[in-house]
């Protein structure tokens, strides 16, 4: 009897939150509540504060706004609440470089020094047989491909990262690149993998040299504005921050606890001393982020019909790994990664699977262009374990397995008129 009451309460809670979550226009809502039902008990117990989940399958979508953006204020989470997407910013940098590759202005195998002369001579930190450290001159050319797929030899961040303002930069991208060029590399370019915000920022600096514009301006003009991403910015306003999804510490079995953002996101967020970081730093909303990833899923075309990239560009350098095939480091395969995006190593038959990216505070989005499927998860959580992840993933599996009528939906591009 007690279990029945709990289940009934969870369902009621699910319905209450669902009413507050605006559906994305121009898609057919599935009518399913898989993710909402799976996570409602965790919201009710206080272990899980809230999140936005979007599952999309060839024109049919399950949209779930679960729980709260601010638990203490009882402010329900919505598609239009702002949050820091952290490393998901990397994919945006990848798209800007892909545009320049498509236009013939950049080659992924160009040496970075072609655009940034300070990278002409690089040094690698090496170990001697007696255990001491020394510097040796790099023999491999550092390429644009390497800085974008984390094989360039750079650390995650520069030594004075916090002093620079972390993801809320206090210095321009060109200065970040110059500082990186003055530091010793951790390994010979192209021979190992090391996840690095620095490398992505160097890629953005290349964009600046080629276009003659700040990277964030080029991003705005060629990606954000054409896709109608009006709420994505490196400088959120006070009005946007009023809808911020709050950050919470989560631990299994106890209520989530509010916390301030880490030092990597120094305040004030919208201060004019903040410079953009391509490795991590873009604020957005679930509604805006959906537009970007739908464009990738649609092979370069936004849901509003605007083409950002050609099909072959997305397929060849974004949806599949750009790392050297068959290369290993420490006996382990390099794994897949393209231009700022987690992407699979091409399979023998040429097929690819999901590609996308996550962020440090739990956000994630990935797409499968062959099946026209998408999974978006917008959340602001710190620490782990996140005990509900299995329930959420199981719910997503049930959604994609169910045959839902999509008659009347444009099953080729998923496009809809601009709004």
Q: What is the pLDDT of residues 306-339, one digit of tens each?
A: 999 999 999 999 999 999 877 777 777 888 999 9
Q: Is the pLDDT of residue 193 over 90?
A: yes
- Structure tokens given for 335: 């794994």
Question: What 8-state DSSP symbol labels residue 247?
Answer: P
pLDDT band at 21 (very low <50, low <70, confident <90, very high): low
Lowest mean pLDDT segment, chosen from 33-37, 351-355, 374-378? 351-355
Q: Is the pLDDT of residue 416 over 50?
A: no
Q: Residues 357-379: what's their mean pLDDT?
A: 95
pLDDT band at 260 (very low <50, low <70, confident <90, very high): confident
Q: Do you find a cis peptide bond into 21, omega within 30 degrees of 0?
A: no
pLDDT band at 275 (very low <50, low <70, confident <90, very high): confident
C-alpha to C-alpha distance for 415 and 411, rounded to whole angstroms:
9
pLDDT at 134: 85
Helix (H) or strand (E) run with residue 15 in it: helix 2-20
Percent of all residues in the chain with a pLDDT value above 70, rounded to a whole number: 82
Q: Quick check: helix, strand or coil at residue 10?
A: helix
Q: Say if residues 55 and 35 touch (Cβ distance below 8 Å).
A: yes
Per-residue burial over 170-188, b if 16 or more Cβ lie within 10 Å, else e, is ebbbbebbbbbbebbbebb
Helix (H) or strand (E) run with residue 83 in it: strand 82-84
Per-residue DSSP letters for 221-243? Answer: IIIIHHHT-TT-BSS--HHHHTT
Residues 6+ away with beta carbon under 8 Å from 124: 135, 136, 137, 138, 153, 184, 185, 186, 187, 188
pLDDT band at 403 (very low <50, low <70, confident <90, very high): low
- Structure tokens given for 158: 């520069």
Per-residue DSSP letters for 280-330? Answer: S--EEEHHHHHHHHHHHHTTSB-TTS-B-S-HHHHHHHTSS--SPTT-EET
pLDDT band at 274 (very low <50, low <70, confident <90, very high): confident
Which sign does the torsion angle of CA 70, 73, 77, 83 carry?
negative
pLDDT at 346: 78
Q: Which residues pair with 65 in a beta bridge?
A: 52
Q: Is the pLDDT of residue 56 over 60?
A: yes
**How many other C-beta atoms can be found within 10 angstroms of the C-beta atom of residue 334?**
21
CA distances, 233 to each of 27, 87, 162 (Å): 26, 14, 21
Residues 6+ away with beta carbon under 8 Å from 98: 309, 313, 314, 317, 318, 339
Q: Residues 172-178: what's their mean pLDDT?
A: 92
Q: Is the pLDDT of residue 39 over 60?
A: yes
C-alpha to C-alpha distance for 46 and 67, rounded to whole angstroms:
9
């Amino acid at each position: 009897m007690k279990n029945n009451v709990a289940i009934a309460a969870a369902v009621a809670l699910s319905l209450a939150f669902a009413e507050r979550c605006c559906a994305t226009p121009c898609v057919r809502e599935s009518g399913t509540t898989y993710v909402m039902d799976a996570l409602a008990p965790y919201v009710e117990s206080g272990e899980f504060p809230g999140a936005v989940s979007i599952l999309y399958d060839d024109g049919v979508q399950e949209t779930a706004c679960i729980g709260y953006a601010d638990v203490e204020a009882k402010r329900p989470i919505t598609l239009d609440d702002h949050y820091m997407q952290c490393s998901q910013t990397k994919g945006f940098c990848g798209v800007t470089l892909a545009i320049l590759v498509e236009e013939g202005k950049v080659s992924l195998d160009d040496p970075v020094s072609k655009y940034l002369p300070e990278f002409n001579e690089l040094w690698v930190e090496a170990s001697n047989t007696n255990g001491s450290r020394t510097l040796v001159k790099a023999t491999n050319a550092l390429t644009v491909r390497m800085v974008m797929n984390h094989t360039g030899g750079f650390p995650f961040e520069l030594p004075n990262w916090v002093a620079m303002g972390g993801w809320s930069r206090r210095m321009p991208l060109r200065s970040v690149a110059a500082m990186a060029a003055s530091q010793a590399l951790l390994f010979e370019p192209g021979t190992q993998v090391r996840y690095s915000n620095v490398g992505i920022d160097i890629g953005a600096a290349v964009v600046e040299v080629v276009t003659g514009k700040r990277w964030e301006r080029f991003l705005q003009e060629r990606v954000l504005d054409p896709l109608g991403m009006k709420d994505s910015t490196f400088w959120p306003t006070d009005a946007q921050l009023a809808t911020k999804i709050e950050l919470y510490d989560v631990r299994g079995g106890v209520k989530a606890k509010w916390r301030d953002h880490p030092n990597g996101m120094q305040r004030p967020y919208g201060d004019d001393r903040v410079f953009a970081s391509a490795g991590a730093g873009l604020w957005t909303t679930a509604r805006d982020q959906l537009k970007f990833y739908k464009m990738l899923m649609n092979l370069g075309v936004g849901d509003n019909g605007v083409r950002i990239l050609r099909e072959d560009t997305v397929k060849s350098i974004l949806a599949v790994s750009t790392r050297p095939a068959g290369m290993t480091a420490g006996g382990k395969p390099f794994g897949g990664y393209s231009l700022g995006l987690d992407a699979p190593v091409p399979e023998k038959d040429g097929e690819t699977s999901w590609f996308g990216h996550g962020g440090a505070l739990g956000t994630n989005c990935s797409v499968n262009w062959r099946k026209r499927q998408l999974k978006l998860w917008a959340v602001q959580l710190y620490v782990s374990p996140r005990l509900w992840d299995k329930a959420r993933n199981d719910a997503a599996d049930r959604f994609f397995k169910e045959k839902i009528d999509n008659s009347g939906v444009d099953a080729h591009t998923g496009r809809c008129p601009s709004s």
